Copies of this chain bind each other. A is one copy, B any other.
């Protein structure tokens, strides 16, 4: 199957590397907002085009993987590109998913394409696990923990603080809260009890460290409701220890069965990811395979991970899956 990437940042490069792990996939084009001549892709022989040229390559591409941001890029790009291609995105603004779905669905149906939105790990693999666990244990309670991992939004927020040269924020699940959920006690957990926030800051020379720490810890929405730790480190340490974009988290459901709810069950799904964008890209590629197949079967319109039978994700046949994975 012929895949093209739309937006060549961390996620786009992740898709490019994920394609190499899938023998049935080929990268056929990269679209960029930049001057194509300025963009060097890692895969030899792959053409780079400006996004304005997308329509000219409609017949060369089976699935276009949209690698832009959820705030402003995808709400425009996904419906626009669904006119031309089968598309998949990682739109992750949970509250705006219904609206995005409706916009994309309309266009995809009008143009006979299939589109899959909000694919990745949350939304994505975590959503799937929430759904499965809720269907299996109707009487229960859901818990989602994130981390340990880098929050882009919170890192951006601390970098805007006066006196901060560079900074990164890690969201960390509280181990005691995880254990309380695993015990089956169905705890009621506050925001503060579930996660802590840890910041690594490279201060500007002569900056008021106490003022930086105070401003961060009291920042409404971002930090005020959490126990936050601020570490000041050197530029060298920052480069050596905090260059990566790890993430992960836990989806748990604690439920009961039996005529009197007498038996407890815990379902837990957890991810530990060295690279958030590369894992997201890997999920995108698996679902790109699925929508390509579904489109060949005549399916169109907007879908989510909930609508895709798992067998479509695998390069193996039904016989192989039943013999080796069931």
Instruction: Decide if A210 is an interface residue (CB 8 Å cutoff).
Output: no
- What's the nearest-Cβ distance from chain B to residue A43, in Å? 9
Complex-state Cα separation, A304 to B323, whole angstroms = 12
Q: Which residues of B contact A130 (CB under 8 A)?
A: 325
Instruction: Decide if A309 is an interface residue (CB 8 Å cutoff).
Output: yes
Pair A279/B306 contact, Cβ less than 8 Å: no
Pair B259/A17 contact, Cβ less than 8 Å: yes
Give the residues from 94 to 138 in chain A that come closer than 8 angstroms, CB to CB, to chain B: 94, 97-98, 101, 118, 123, 125, 127-132, 134-138
Pair A322/B17 contact, Cβ less than 8 Å: no
Q: Interface extent on A, as a size class? A: 35 or more
- What's the nearest-Cβ distance from chain B to residue A315, in Å? 8
Instruction: Decide if A270 is an interface residue (CB 8 Å cutoff).
Output: yes
A21-B257, A123-B326, A269-B268 known; A306 vs B281 contact (CB < 8 Å): no
| A residues in contact (CB < 8 Å) with B | 14, 17-18, 20-22, 42, 94, 97-98, 101, 118, 123, 125, 127-132, 134-139, 182, 184, 257-259, 262-275, 278-279, 281-283, 286, 289, 304-311, 313-315, 318-319, 321-323, 325-326
Sorted nearest first, the 6 A-B pairs with minimum C-beta distance are A263-B274, A135-B313, A257-B278, A263-B275, A135-B286, A306-B311
A-B contact pairs, 28 of them (CB 8 A): A17-B259, A20-B259, A21-B138, A21-B257, A22-B138, A94-B326, A97-B322, A98-B319, A98-B322, A123-B326, A127-B326, A130-B325, A131-B314, A132-B313, A135-B315, A184-B272, A257-B279, A257-B281, A263-B278, A266-B273, A267-B269, A268-B268, A268-B269, A268-B271, A307-B309, A308-B309, A308-B310, A310-B310
